[in-house]
Amino acid sequence: MNRAQTRKALHKQSRAALWTIQLAVTAVADSIQQLKVLQDHAHRGHRAALATLRLARHHSLNDCDLLRVEDAVGKFARLTDWPAAMRARSRHEHLERPLSDTESCQLANLAGSALLVAAGLLDITEQFDAWYGGLAVTAAAVARSALANVTSQGHRKRADKLMLRLEELCTHPHIAWAFATNARDQAQPMRTLH
């Protein structure tokens, strides 16, 4: 291979490395955007499920149904560290009326379903964090390793700008935790959406 061919091959490799960096930066930016959108939807769903739970459990349920609902709520409240005000069942005079056994059971089931949705959405948001956090960390590692292969001066300027953008993205509040030192080795703190 002559000198011109070698220079051309190096330029091509440099451009390919630059494209790799661009792909990685785009992946991190997209991870943040998707995480924000998905978490916002999950948080709204969680709040709606808690509102349904709150209204269903404050009806005049019969003793058996009340015990079943409050036992489930108590376990979930301890798991997610709810404040005492949310754990407590209070009277709602506008909901008080005699309930048939069937209606009491149905309201207890409604409360249970709402609790299941609320708990499930907590799991889902944690899974979103894990998926998109892992994607962002891997993409950042790819960009950093590709940087050494950007040898063309023109490509290097663009690569340096992309790397600055990457570092900025890595500190974004939705994803910064994934880049913390030993983030994968540390236990994630318990998350609550209340």
Question: Considering its fold, how many domains does the chain have in total?
Answer: 1
pLDDT tens, position by position, 35-50: 999 999 999 999 999 8
Confidence class of residue 180 from pLDDT cuts 50, 70 and 90?
A: confident
Task: Indicate the burial class of 84 (C-beta count within 10 angstroms; 0-12, 13-18, 19 or more).
Answer: exposed
What's the CA gap between 57 and 70, in Å, rounded? Answer: 8
pLDDT tens column, 137-173: 999 999 999 999 999 999 999 999 999 999 999 999 9
Where helices occur in 59-152 by DSSP H, the ranges are: 63-80, 84-87, 101-147
Looking at the chain, the whole-number percentage of residues with pLDDT higher than 90 is 60
Does residue 185 form part of some domain? no
In a domain, 14, yes or no: yes
pLDDT at 98: 83
Amino acid at 140: A
How far, in Å, are 42, 147, 152 from residue 9 at the CA level?
Answer: 49, 17, 11
Lowest mean pLDDT among 75-84, 126-135, 136-145: 75-84
Cα atoms found within 13 Å of the Cα of residue 48, Cβ hemisphere only: 8
Is 188 a domain residue? Answer: no
Residue 86 placed within a domain: yes
Most confident of 23-27, 56-60, 88-92, 124-128: 23-27
pLDDT band at 187 (very low <50, low <70, confident <90, very high): very low
Is residue 122 domain-resident? yes
Number of H helices, E strands in the chain: 5, 0
Burial 106-133 (b: 16+ CB within 10 A, else e): ebbebbbebbebbbebbebbeebbeebb
186: in domain: no
With tokens 């001066």, the residue in question is 153
Q: How confident is the model at residue 3 (pLDDT cuts 50, 70, 90)?
A: confident
Say if 84 falls within a structural domain: yes
Average pLDDT, the chain: 87
Give CA–CA dist 94/182, Å, rounded: 52
Sequence-distant contacts of 158-167: CB under 8 A, at least 24 apart:
158/18, 159/17, 159/18, 159/21, 162/18, 162/21, 162/22, 162/25, 163/21, 165/25, 165/29, 166/21, 166/24, 166/25, 166/28, 166/140
Asked if residue 75 belongs to a domain, the reply is yes
Domain enclosing residue 153, as ranges: 3-179
